[in-house]
Amino acid sequence: MKVAIIGIPESGKTTIFNALTRGNAEVAAYSPTLAPNIGVAKVSDPRLAVLEGIFQPKKTVPAEVSYIDIAGPIKGFGKEGAGGELLNYLTTADALLQVVRVFEDDKVPHPQGSTDPKRDIAALDLELAISDLAIMERRLDKLETSLKAAKATERESYLKEQALLQKIKAELEKDKPIRIQGLTKEELKMLANYQFLTAKPMLVVLNIGEGQISQASQLEGQISAIHPQFAVVALCGKLEMELAQLGDLEAREFREAMGLSKPALDRVIDLSYSLLGLISFFTTVSSELKVWTIPGGTSAPKAAGKIHSDMERGFIRAEVISYSDLANCGNLAEARKRGLLRTEGKSYIIQDGHVVTFLFNV
Ligand SMILES: Nc1nc2c(ncn2[C@@H]2O[C@H](COP(=O)(O)OP(=O)(O)O)[C@@H](O)[C@H]2O)c(=O)[nH]1
Ligand SMILES: [Mg+2]
């Protein structure tokens, strides 16, 4: 899964990208022509340590989230809509992570001359909406032309699409992003190809200064109250980037000394995951403990297909056990003895935390 990082210049996007991916991209380098930074964050999952104790794997492969840090145009991409490559990066992302500048620093001038998180969030919201509206207008124009020449058999689907686009456009013009328009599954499916930006889940990272750490949850609450549809995390980007360069133990000691509890970055990565309705299941094959990411509601054969298409085609059955049952038993033999290891067929829906062995034939 892919998350695109957006926000105004000098809000700390590259800093937070580096913190998330333990990367070394140059901060404060600003140019819209700069190639985007692309990196990967490992999803920390406390269940892995327990499973490692049980299976003693040679290797553990956690789930990953990719982050893309794109330098947008200075004035935003609202006026003409996001064009070309930038729009391409945004539309292909599964979710957007908006970095909002809360920190004050005279050495880093804010492009608007003052720090005002609420203003900046509203401005970005507007830009995303304008970009979507431009796409809707172009498509509606095209549909009108197509309808004139349409065969009777094509008319119905064109009309259906036209009605839906007109409906969501009217709502968007009333400042209601698609993600909160309460569209049906079928409607969302019809729109999927457009990859509308205001339809994407949004994670807001409030980039606070070191002196604001004690107000972190209060700030989160303020923004959540205005934007209940956003997932909001406040963190200090600069500090998190420095901590990300340290070893785990050193970073933990530092966190404790600073009064930082669960690493805010882990919360961001967790939220990137949960915002999309994704769940994890585990496999242990050839001494490798591996986490797989699937949407909630995925059937056993489809989950097997995530590993290899042959396994979906040749699916016979799955042996599954929940993480908590296995953790309680301490090992598979004990779980088997207690009848907690179940055999499931094609229609079985894989649940979060399942440890799964697929049986297939090719
Ligand atoms: N004081 C302070 N400066 C920060 C913080 N986060 C980023 N900066 C600084 O802000 C400048 C711009 O950061 P950068 O990550 O390049 O922002 P971007 O333009 O959004 O990618 C750099 O000089 C950073 O060191 C922070 O939390 N506190
Ligand atoms: Mg940058």
pLDDT tens-digit readout, 105-141 = 988 888 888 899 999 999 888 889 998 999 999 999 9
* pLDDT (tens digit per residue) in 167-178: 999 999 998 999
Task: Give 230 Cα–ligand 2 centroid separation in angstroms.
Answer: 22
Residue 10 CB–ligand 1 contact under 6 Å:
yes
Q: What is the pLDDT of residue 88?
A: 79
More confident residue, 260 or 271: 271
| Residues 260, 199: Cα–Cα separation, whole Å | 33
Predicted confidence at residue 276, as pLDDT, reads: 84
What number of CA atoms fall less than 13 Å from residue 320's CA on the CB side?
20
Q: What is the pLDDT of residue 29?
A: 57
Provide the β-strand partners of residue 97.
Answer: 5, 203
Domains with residue ranges and CATH for the chain: 2-47+59-114+200-274 (3.40.50.300), 127-198 (1.10.150.300), 278-360 (3.10.20.30)
> Which amino acid residue places its CA nearest to atom 4 of ligand 1?
238
Query: How far, in Å, is the centroid of ligand 2 from the Cα of 194?
Result: 27
Judge if the beta carbon of residue 236 lies within 6 A of ligand 1: yes
Tens digits of per-residue pLDDT, 273-283?
A: 888 888 999 99
CA distances to 174, 236, 262, 266 from 233, in Å: 27, 10, 12, 10
With a 6 Å cutoff on the Cβ, whether 3 touches ligand 1 is no
Instruction: Say yes or no to pLDDT of 263 above 90.
Output: no
Residue-wise pLDDT tens digits, 39-72: 999 888 899 999 999 999 999 999 999 999 987 6
- Which pLDDT does position 73 carry in this prediction? 60
The pTM for the full model equals 0.86
Q: Which residues have CB atoms below 5 A from the ion given as ligand 2?
A: 13-14
Q: Is 23 in the pocket of ligand 1 (CB under 6 A)?
A: no
Instruction: Give the tens place of pLDDT for each residue, 74-107.
Output: 555 545 445 567 777 888 999 999 999 999 998 8
Give me the chain's average pLDDT, please.
Answer: 90
Ligand 1 atom nearest the C-alpha of 99 is 20
- Contacts (Cβ under 8 Å, ≥6 apart) of 152: none
- Provide the phi-psi class of 349: left if phi over 0, else alpha when psi is between -120 and 50, else beta: beta
